[in-house]
Copies of this chain bind each other. A is one copy, B any other.
Amino acid sequence: MSVATFNLECPLPIADYPNVVLAHGGGGRLSRTLVEKIFLGAYPNEVLATLHDGAVLDVHGGRIAFSTDSYVIDPPFFPGGDIGSLAVHGTINDLAMCGATPLALSAGFILEEGFPMADLWRIALSMRDAAAAAATPIVTGDTKVVDRGKGDGIFINTTGVGIVRPGIELAPRRARAGDAVLVSGSIATHGIAIMSIREGLEFETQLATDSAALHGMVASLLDTLGSDVHVLRDPTRGGVASALCEIADSASVGIDIEEAAIPVLDEVRGACEILGFDPLYVANEGKLIAFVAAERADEALATLRAHPLGGEAARIGTVTSEHSGHVLQRSRIGGLRAIEMLSGEQLPRIC
């Protein structure tokens, strides 16, 4: 598909990566490089450059949030959900991370010829249920069909608009020294639930995705803390580690975390050991990270824990003015380890 007359120099080192590789979509270092070099290279605008989960736009004297995600998860059906519910939750969560109340979603389907109609119906119903539970209607859509062998059953894009709360400005660059770093529950569950199906792992109880819509929990947190919430992020692809690295980089701060404080379900930890994964890098779909003013940390934690989705919330770390741009983890036995962004592709097509 290359055309010889294309002379503008590509800003990525073509010699290293002449072609797209799976890790360009993995949420780690290569994803970040692709976005920074190709997309920010082509569209150097202020809003996109925030690299937040969504954009915040001024409309009719107020603000709206606007966020998009495509879902290519393999397999499309899994314990606790499917590509449809995931697509609804994921985009609602991106809006929530901007401090917005979700208003409406669009749904764009790319179907492969031969995809079972009954499966499409099941996914449509699952999206309906997830959207209804979140009181966020699907108001516009699009369907494309590609020939057999040119897709993989079903891909879904959901894009959302939401109303940003007055007085709230959440952005990675707002993390500041002293902030408490909270996580709303045990991590790595979604990624391990999907991997365990792919690998045929068996647990005593079936491990289900943690996929959930987080806007209600965010509303509670913002009701209580207001502008003392500085950053919210849902740590999907690339996991908690990559999200923290991005925030440390954006805000030019250091982040210290305590391994022992990070909640992980026993069966998830066990599966990570078997599969050779670090839970810190495994995708989540129903968890958030919150950076809040130090003096409000206990209140924030109590608020998260009072929410049905936040029972296991924990304070996992602190922002520091030292080691700017870097994340350090103190291990259970007291050693310090630098946490880097995910490099390479750990779990392809996890969302």
Contacts and interface: CB of A to CB of B under 8 A. Distances in A.
Consensus secondary structure, chain A interface: mixed
A118 interface: yes
A261 interface: no
A345 to B, nearest CB: 8
B145 A54 contact: no
A107 B34 CA distance: 14
Contacts of A26: 145
B8 A141 contact: no
Contacts of A47: 104, 137, 139-140
Contacts of A42: 121, 124-125, 127-128
Contact of A75 (B1, B120, B131, B137): B1
A332 interface: no
Which of A41, A152, A157 counts the most B-chain CB atoms under 10 A from its CB?
A157
Interface residues of A, number: 96
Q: Which 8 A-B pairs have the closest CB atoms?
A: A25-B145, A60-B62, A68-B106, A159-B159, A42-B124, A55-B139, A157-B157, A150-B152
23 contacts: A1-B76, A1-B77, A3-B77, A3-B122, A10-B117, A18-B118, A20-B116, A20-B120, A24-B111, A25-B111, A38-B121, A39-B107, A59-B103, A60-B61, A61-B61, A64-B64, A66-B104, A68-B108, A70-B110, A74-B150, A106-B159, A157-B159, A159-B159
